[in-house]
Amino acid sequence: MIKLRDICRNFQVGDETVHALDQVTLDIAAGDYISVMGPSGSGKSTLLNMLGLLDMPNSGSYLFENKELTKLSEEKRARFRREKIGFIFQSFHLVPRLTAAGNLELPLMLTGMLPAKRRVLVQEALASVGLEDRAHHLPKQLSGGQQQRVAIARAMIMKPPLLLADEPTGNLDTHSGDEIIKTLEVLNQTGITLIVVTHDLELGQRAGRTIQMVDGKVVHDES
C-alpha cells in the first residue's frame, strides 16, 4: 500500500541542519497495525506528518497505492488527505464552537456533500463510537475520552484506508485510553491501516508491527 524510499526531511535551526528523517525506507501493507516509537526528537511525528502529507520530504519517494505523492500540487495533496487519510491527535483538535455533530460534518462539508446525506453519515459515525446521544454537545461539554471518540469518528467519516494517530491516549486517563485503543483496534480489524505514534511501551507492543526510531532513522522494525 505504502512505499517510502530514502525519505529525508531536514530543518535548518540557526547554522545547524537537523535531519528529522534520514534516508527512511519503509513498506506498509494494507491493514497493517503499526506503532512508531522512540525518544523525543527521534522523528516519529515527522514521519507521521510525512505519511499524512502534512509535510513534504526534501528528497526521496512516497508511493501510495503505486501513486507518487511527492510531486502532487498543494491542492491535490489536500484532496488526497480528505479522501485517503484520517488523523487523530493527542489534543483531539475539535473545533470548540461546533457541536460533536458539527465537527463530524466538517470533512463532509469540504467535499460539497448535501446536508441530508451528511446528517445520515454523521448519525452513523456517532453511533459507531457510542456517542449518538451527544450529537448536540459542544466539545467543552464532553469528557476527554468522549472528545477523542468524536475525533476518531471524524477521522473515519470519509472511510479512509489509512488512519494516523499521534499519541491518541496521551491526554487521557488509563480507562479512557484503553477504550480509545480498543476502538482503534476494532477499526484496524475492518481492514483499515493503522499507524500509531506513542511513547507508551505497553500500547506500542499491542501493534502487530513496531518501528523504533532514533535520530531520524528507523533502527528497529519488528513484526
Task: Supply 178's cell numbers.
Answer: 484503553
Interacting span for another protein (CB under 8 A) from 34-42, 86-94, 177-185, 199-207: 86-94
| Count of residues of this chain found to bind another protein when the rule CB under 8 A is applied | 30
Shortest distance, CB of residue 202 to another protein, whole angstroms?
Answer: 26
Burial (0-12, 13-18, 19+ Cβ within 10 Å), 72: middle
Shortest distance, CB of residue 158 to another protein, whole angstroms?
Answer: 8
| Structural contact between residues 13 and 188, judged by C-beta atoms closer than 8 angstroms | no
| Structural contact between residues 116 and 59, judged by C-beta atoms closer than 8 angstroms | no
Site for another protein in 112-131 (CB under 8 A): 112, 114-115
Site for another protein in 126-155 (CB under 8 A): 154
Site for another protein in 157-216 (CB under 8 A): 158
Candidates 44, 81, 134, 149: give the one binding another protein (CB under 8 A). Answer: 81
The H or E element that residue 222 is part of is strand 217-222
Lay out the site mask for another protein across 31-50 (x = CB under 8 A, - = otherwise): ------------------x-
Which residue in this structure is represented by grid cell 472511510? Answer: 159
Complex with another protein: residue 38 or 52, whichever CB lies closer: 52
Those residues with Cβ within 8 angstroms of residue 118's Cβ, 6 or more apart along the chain or in another chain: 105, 108, 109
93 contacts another protein (rule: CB under 8 A): yes
98 contacts another protein (rule: CB under 8 A): yes
Sign of CA dihedral 51, 28, 171, 39: negative
Interacting span for another protein (CB under 8 A) from 70-78, 186-194, 198-206, 212-220: 70-78
64 contacts another protein (rule: CB under 8 A): no
Shortest distance, CB of residue 115 to another protein, whole angstroms?
Answer: 8
Candidates 29, 30, 109, 214: give the one binding another protein (CB under 8 A). Answer: 109
Nearest to 21 by CA among 40, 43, 45: 43
Candidates 95, 127, 186, 219: give the one binding another protein (CB under 8 A). Answer: 95
70/56 Cα distance (integer angstroms):
7
- What are the residue ranges of helices labelled H in the chain? 44-51, 74-84, 100-111, 115-128, 144-156, 174-189, 201-206
Residues that bind another protein (CB under 8 A): 49, 52, 54-55, 74-75, 78-83, 87, 89, 93, 95-98, 102, 106-107, 109-112, 114-115, 154, 158
